[in-house]
Structure 1
Amino acid sequence: MGIPLPALERGNPLMDRKLLCAALTLATLSFCAGPAKARWVENGVVLCAAENYRAYPASCPDGAGGSIVVWQDIRSGSYYHIYAQRIDAYGNTLWTANGVRVCTRDSDQSWCRAVTDGAGGAIVMWLDNSISGSFFRAQRLDPSGALLWDANGVAVAGGSTSPETPPEIVPDNHGGAVVAWHEMRGGTPKVFAQRVNSSGSILWTEGGLAVASGSTGTQYYPRVASDGSHGAFVIWFDNRNSGSTSWDIYLQRIRAGGSLQWTNGTGLCTEANSQTNPRIVATAPGRVAAAWEDLRSGTSWDVYATSIDTAGSYYFWNVAVCTAANTQQWIDLAADGTGGVIAAWGDLRNGLTSHVYAQRIGSTGVQSWTANGVRVCTSDYSQQMPRVVSDGSGGAVIAWTDSRGDGDIYCQRIDAAGTAAWPATGLPVCVSSGSQSNMCVSSDGKNGIIAAWMSQLGSTYEIYAQRIERNGYWGYPCPYVAEVEDVPHDQGGSVTVSWEASRLDAFANEIVTHYSIWRSLEAPAAAALVEAGIEGTGPAAIPRDFKGPAYRFLSVAGTLYGWEWLANMDAHYFDEYTFEAPTYYDSVTADPATHYFLVSAHTENRFVFWDSPVDSGYSVDNLAPCVPLSLSGEQSYDPAGMRLSWASNGESDLAAYRVYRGASEDFIPASGNMISSSCDTSFFDASWSWSPGCYYKVSAIDVHGNESGFALLRPGDVTGTDEVALPRATALAQNFPNPFNPATSILFDLAGPGRVTIEIFDVSGRLVARLLDERREAGRHRVEWRGTDAGGEAVPSGIYFCRMRAAAYEATRKIALIR
C-alpha cells in the first residue's frame, strides 16, 4: 500500500499477558513500505534520460542502503549544470525524474563531488565558472532532494584566483564538510582547505586556509580524510626539498576551529627520488593511513604506506605495500575496520598489460596477504583505475574499468584473508555495448557496493548505476511484495500477501529454495521479548522444514523493530506466490489496523538470503452479523409504550442493534426511520400506539459497519401483558456509544442474583479501572465509564477492553476512546 510503518502500540491484553507486559513503544520506521516499479536491471539503471550529454559522476552512500549520485549535465544546450539523483537499495530513483538541479545559476559547472551529510542527504561541491570568476560552490540536499542552502549554492573558495583541481571533500561528522584543493597564488601552486558547516556557513579563512603557507615549494593534488574531531588531515606532494627535481609526501592536520597541527605540514615521506599521487583514509577515530606511488628504487614506481594519528604518532611508517617489478599506479584505499588499510592499484609487473592487485596492511604495518599483493582478477585483459570500498567484514569490494568489450566495469570481493569471493575473472557490473568510464563506487551498507559511471550511447553519454550485493549478484534479487489485501467475503482476521518471485527462482537460475513470510510484531510483544532476553532468529536460521516459532529484530538507523515468522513456502519457479496471513485485528473507523509484512528468499546456503521491501495492508470483516432472533413486542400501560426485546447475537465483533419503525410491512429501513441504535437487546418506544399500527424492524451491526438482515415485528405479534420479564441469560452487551467521548454506557443482564465484576484494561493488559465489584439482583443493569483510571485521571485515546465476570460467566468487549 506504500505507506510508512508507524509505531505499533495495539494488542489484546487477554490474549497473551506475558508478551504484552512491557511498555516499550517502537518508533516510526524510516523506510517506506512497498517498492516503486523501477528496479535494478542487468548492466545498470539509467539515472537520467534527459536530452543531450551528461558525464563525470560522483557518489556517496545515503545511509539507508542506497546512493546519492551527482553529475554534470548539458541538457540546457548552453551550460553544464550539476544534477543529483538518489537511488535506493532496490534500484528505485527517489528524487525528481532525471535528477534534481543542484544550482540554479546559468554558469558552467563541473568537477562535482558529494559526501554524506550524516542525515540521509548529501553535501555537493563543484567548480562554478562565470564572468565573475571561478568558484567552488557547495549545496546541501536533504533525503527528499530538497535544496537546504541558497539556490545558487554557497561560495567556498575562488574568485580572484581559480582552483586548479576538483574539490577533494570529506564529511566533518557534524553535518558539514571539509574540502581541499590546489590553486595558483603568488605564482606558485599551493594547497588550501575550507570547512563549511551544516547550515552552509564558511568556518575557516575566507578564500581558503593555506595548509603550509611558509613552504616555498610547489604543492599539488591534495587528498583529505576526517580526523574524527570535525577537522581533517590533508595530504599532498610537494617539491620544497629539491626544487623541481623530485617530490615528497606531506601531511597537515587542521583542527575543527581551523588551527594547524604543524606549521608547514609534516614530511610523511621524503625518501630519494619522487613520491606522488597520495591517497588517505581514516582507519579509526583520530587515525589515518596513507599510501602513495614511490620511485625511491630509481627504476620503477612502487607503493608505500604510513599510518599516523592526530598527535603525530606513527602506527607504521614507510611500509612497502608492493615493490614488484615495473610500475604500480592508480592507488585507492579503504579502511579494513580494525585500524588497518586495504590498498588496490593497477600493476604492470607482467609487462605492458595492467592488472589490479590488492594488499591488506594490518594496524601495525604487517602485510596480511601474499607479498606484493593478491591478483584481484585473473583475466588477461587490461584492468585500470580500481576503486575500493570496505565490505564491513575485514575485506573489500574492488571495482575497475576493464578492456574486455569496448571498455566495461567489473568487480571482485576479497575477504579478510585475501581470498576472492566471486569469480576469479571478476563479476560484471556493466558489459553493455559502448564504453563505460569514470566509475565511482559507494558502500550499500551490507557488504556490497553501488557503482555509478558514464556510459557511451552513440555520440552521447548517460549516467548509470548498478548494485552488486554481498553474495555477488547484480542488483538485489529479493522477492517483491506486490500487495497486501483483505480476503474478501470473510469474517476478517486475515489478508492475502502476494509477492513476485526472486529472479533467482526461475529455470536456469534455480537458486532460491523457499520463502519465509514475516509479520511485524505488536510493540508490547516485541518489548516483552527484548526484556526477556530472547534473541532474534534471523533468516539464516530458517531452513526449508522450519516449523517455528521465530522472531527477528532489525535495526534501522539505530531503532529496533520486531518481526514474527508466520510460515515457509517452497519455491516452485512460479512468477508470483500468495499466502493468507493472519492479522491481530481488523480495520475499523477509529483504527485502520494496518499490518506490515516482508518476505525473505532463502537458498541452500543458509547465509545467503534476501529480504523484500516492507509492504502493508489490513483485514476487513466482510460478513454481516446474523439477523436478531426472537423479536417480540409487549404493550405497556405504565409507562405507556411498546417494549421490544430480542435474543442477544453471538458475534464477537458486534457493535450495536438498530431499531427502525414504519407504517407498513414493506417499509425500507433508513436513517430517517431509525429510532434506536444501542448495544442493548431491548428498546422501549414511548411513542407507540395501537391505532395506526406500527411495524418494527431490528438489525445487528458489527464494528466494521456490516449490517444484518432485519427481524420484523407486525402489529398482530404484539402482546399486552404488563409483566416485567427477567433476562433469559447473563450477558455483557457492547458499550454505547462506541467509539465514545467523554462517557459510555455498559449494559449487562443477570439471569440470577450474584456478585458482578466489571473492569477496564488497556492494550498491554494493565488494569485501568474497576467499575463494579458487588452483588446485584437479577435483571438488567447499567454502569458508566467516563474514560478515567482508578485515580480519576483521564486516560489517553486508544483501544481498551471491558471484562465482565459473574459466577461462571466471563466476557470481554473492545472499547474505543477518542479524545
Structure 2
Amino acid sequence: MLIRGLRSWALAVASSTIVTTACAQWSGSPDAANLICTTTVNQLTQFTTDGQGGAIFSWNGKDGNSADVVLAQRLDADGIAQWGPGGIAINPGTPGFTLGAPQRDANGGAFIPWASYVPYNYYSIRVQHVNRDGLPLLPGDGIELLLESSVGLWENFLSDNQGGALLVWFRQGNLHIKHIDSSGAVNWTYDAAEPDPAMDLATLADGEGGVFICWRSRDKSIRTQHVNKYGNAVWPAVGKLLSTDGEIPAIAPDGSGGAIFTWLDFRDVGVATGHAYAQRLDAAGNSLWATNGLRISSSQDTQFFTYPVSDGKGGATVGYSSYNSETYLTDVRVQRISSKGKLLWSSLGKLLSRPNSSQYITSAVPDGANGAIVFWHSGQSLFAQRVNSLGMTQWFPRTGILCVQNDISSVATLNDPTGGAFYGWNVSRDNVVSIFVNRISSRGRLGSTH
C-alpha cells in the first residue's frame, strides 16, 4: 500500500575512503560488471551520455589530504576509462559533494553540479564544465549558481540540450531558474511566486533551450509551468493545474513542443492509496487527453512510481509498480497511451515482473524504436525488459537479469544511441559501498552494443 508522504528522493553525504580501479570492457555476465570504486559513503550512481556512444558519471570520494572531493569518469562505448584510472577531481580546491547527475554538453563533455559547505550554515551550489578529455572549462572549482541554507531537496540541474544547462529550484513559495551557456555565463533568470511549490519537483528540457517544470504544492495539487528559452513563462502565471490531490509527478516529451505528465492521484480511493494518471499538454498548455487526467490502469489496487517514456508518435509508454491484492505482491507493469489519450494495451497493463516475489520499478528509458526499456529490482537482483510499440517483450528470458547481488540500491539508467542502455548501481556490505556500471544492447546482450 502506498502511504501518503512516500518520497523518492534521498541524499546522504558522509566521509569516505575511496579505492578506484581502471575500468575494463563491459561485462557479459550478471555476476560481474565494471567496478568503479569502493567507499564508505552512501553514494548515488548518476549518468549522462557523452554523445559518442559512452557515458559520464560522478561520485563522492577523498583526495590525498582526506578532503571531500567530487570525482568524475568517462567510459567510452567499449567501457574503457577515458579520464585516468581514478577519474578526475571536479573540485580540487574546495571540499564538496555531488548534487545531481552530470549533464551533457554539445561536444562530448559535461556540466557537473556539486555543493560545498560555507560557514555559517550555508551551502554553495556550483557547477564545473569539463570537455570530452576531462579538462575543466570554467576557472577554479567552477562557478557558483546559488547560495542556500539547505541543499539536496528541491534543486534540479539539467541540460538544455542546446549546449547549456539549467538550475531549477524553489524556496519559500517561489520558483527559480537560472540558465547558463557553455562558458558558464548566466543568460537569464526566472523568479515567480507560483502557487506554493513545496515538493516532488520534476523537470524536462523542452529541446529549444527552455524547460517544463512540474511540482506538488502544499495544498496537494499538481501543477506545471513551461518557461521558454528567453526565461518567460509560456503558460498562465499560476501554472496549469493537473490534479487537486496528487504526488510524485514525472514528465516525458510529446515530440510536438508539448509534454506528457504522469503522477499518483488520490481522488478515487481516499487518502491511503493512489492510482496512476496521465495528461498531455500541447505547447500552448491545452489539455489533449481526458479532463482532469487519464487513468492508466483499471485496477483498484495501488499504483506508484510512474516512469513515462515518449513513444515517438505523440503518446507515451508508462512503466509503473502496482500492488496485487490477489498475490499480496508488488508487480511491475507497463501501459502505452496513444497521442489521442487512448490506452492501447490491456486496461490492467502488461505484466513484466516475475510473479513469485515483489518487484519494484526503478526507471524506464526509450529504446529509440518507439518502445521502452523498463528496469526494476527485487532487492537482490536487478532486471530489465524491452517492450516494443505493440507491447511485445523483446528479450529472453522474459525478465532479463542484469546483476545478482544483495543489497542493491541507487540504481541509475541511461538510454544509449544503439537502442540499449547503460545502468549502474550501488552494493552496500559491511559499511562499504561499491559502485558498478554496465550496459545492455538492444538485443538484450549484457556488455554489448549489438
TM-score scaled by length of structure 2: 0.87
Is 2:183 aligned against 1:199?
Answer: yes
Describe the shift of the 1:221–1:157 C-alpha distance in structure 2 as closer, same or farther (beyond 3 A): farther
Correspondences of 1:488-567 after superposition (within 5 Å): none
2:115 is matched with: 127
User: Runs of 5+ in structure 1 lacking a partner?
Assistant: 1-35, 478-609, 611-819
Shift of 1:402: 1.7
- Runs of at least 4 residues off by over 6 Å: none
- Between 1 and 2, higher relative CO (CA 8 Å, sep ≥ 6) is seen in 2
Is 2:294 aligned against 1:315?
Answer: no
- From 459, 470, 477, the counterpart of 2:442: 470
CA contact (8 A) 2:366 2:415 kept: yes
Is 2:421 aligned against 1:449?
Answer: yes
Q: CA offsets per residue over residues 709-730 of structure 1, 9 Å max, x none? A: xxxxxxxxxxxxxxxxxxxxxx
- From 99, 102, 117, the counterpart of 2:105: 117
Q: Give the partner amino acid of 1:298.
A: V
Q: CA offsets per residue over residues 371-392 of structure 1, 9 Å max, x none? A: 1311111242222242111011
Shift of 1:421: 1.4
Q: CA offsets per residue over residues 13-38 of structure 1, 9 Å max, x none? A: xxxxxxxxxxxxxxxxxxxxxxx992
Q: Give the partner amino acid of 1:40.
A: W
2:358 is matched with: 382
Is 2:75 aligned against 1:83?
Answer: no
- From 48, 51, 54, the counterpart of 1:63: 51
CA contact (8 A) 2:243 2:265 kept: no
CA contact (8 A) 1:54 1:71 kept: no
Rounded Cα–Cα distance in structure 1 between residues aligned with 2:356 and 2:65? 41
Is 2:146 aligned against 1:157?
Answer: yes
Is 2:420 aligned against 1:436?
Answer: no
Is 2:253 aligned against 1:257?
Answer: no
Q: CA offsets per residue over residues 241-298 of structure 1, 9 Å max, x none? A: xx5xxx1111111121212223533233234xx2111001222152211100001103
Q: Secondary structure at the match of 1:113?
A: coil
CA contact (8 A) 1:165 1:181 kept: no
2:269 is matched with: 298
CA contact (8 A) 1:164 1:182 kept: no
Describe the shift of the 1:347–1:152 C-alpha distance in structure 2 as closer, same or farther (beyond 3 A): same
Shift of 1:77: 7.8
Rounded Cα–Cα distance in structure 1 between residues aligned with 2:251 and 2:281? 11
TM-score scaled by length of structure 1: 0.49
- From 309, 322, 334, the counterpart of 2:309: 334
1:482 is matched with: none
1:180 is matched with: 168
2:12 is matched with: none
1:522 is matched with: none
Describe the shift of the 1:152–1:62 C-alpha distance in structure 2 as closer, same or farther (beyond 3 A): same
Shift of 1:76: 5.8
CA RMSD of aligned residues (A): 2.4
- From 11, 24, 30, the counterpart of 1:38: 24
Is 2:433 aligned against 1:461?
Answer: yes
User: Runs of 5+ in structure 2 lacking a partner?
Assistant: 1-21
CA contact (8 A) 1:268 1:306 kept: no
Describe the shift of the 1:349–1:54 C-alpha distance in structure 2 as closer, same or farther (beyond 3 A): closer
CA contact (8 A) 2:103 2:158 kept: yes
Rounded Cα–Cα distance in structure 2 between residues aligned with 1:346 and 1:74? 37
CA contact (8 A) 2:98 2:113 kept: no
Rounded Cα–Cα distance in structure 1 between residues aligned with 2:269 and 2:42? 42
2:322 is matched with: 347
CA contact (8 A) 1:289 1:308 kept: yes
Describe the shift of the 1:165–1:339 C-alpha distance in structure 2 as closer, same or farther (beyond 3 A): same
Rounded Cα–Cα distance in structure 1 between residues aligned with 2:119 and 2:377? 37
Structure with max Cα Rg = 1
Q: Secondary structure at the match of 1:315?
A: coil
Q: CA offsets per residue over residues 642-695 of structure 1, 9 Å max, x none? A: xxxxxxxxxxxxxxxxxxxxxxxxxxxxxxxxxxxxxxxxxxxxxxxxxxxxxx
CA contact (8 A) 2:160 2:210 kept: yes
Rounded Cα–Cα distance in structure 1 between residues aligned with 2:398 and 2:123? 44
Rounded Cα–Cα distance in structure 2 between residues aligned with 1:37 and 1:128? 28
1:28 is matched with: none
Q: Give the partner amino acid of 1:237.
A: R
1:416 is matched with: 389
1:268 is matched with: 241
Describe the shift of the 1:92–1:333 C-alpha distance in structure 2 as closer, same or farther (beyond 3 A): same
- Identity of aligned pairs, percent? 24
Shift of 1:457: 4.4
1:486 is matched with: none
- From 325, 328, 333, the counterpart of 1:357: 333
Q: CA offsets per residue over residues 423-469 of structure 1, 9 Å max, x none? A: 3551111113x322101111121111110111224321121101111
Shift of 1:49: 3.6
Q: Give the partner amino acid of 1:437.
A: S
1:651 is matched with: none
Q: Give the partner amino acid of 1:200.
A: G
Q: Give the partner amino acid of 1:98.
A: G
